[in-house]
Amino acid sequence: MEFQSNSSAFTVRGRVSSGLGEGRKFASLSWFRSQVKELLGFEPYPGTLNLLLDNGA
């Protein structure tokens, strides 16, 4: 997975894992969703991506 910011890029390696479902509650809060939309310009998915990083990552 590559993430690009204004000045740098990096690679993260790992495995996607299931979680407890708690992130969905937070990411569904209206104030959180409106702040992400205002500050980052997109509407967040109501959940999280759990990534177990490989050693040395």
The domain that holds 25 is classified in CATH as 2.40.30.30
pLDDT number for residue 57: 47
Tens of pLDDT, residue by residue over 1-57, are 455 566 677 788 999 999 888 888 888 999 999 999 999 999 988 888 899 999 864
- Helix then strand count (H, E) for the chain reads 2, 4
- Counting the structural domains of the chain, the total is 1
Long-range Cβ contacts of 39-47 (<8 Å, 24+ apart)? 47/21, 47/23
Range of the domain at 28: 2-53
Dihedral sign, Cα of residue 19, residue 22, residue 25, residue 26 = negative
**pTM for the complete prediction?**
0.55
pLDDT number for residue 20: 87
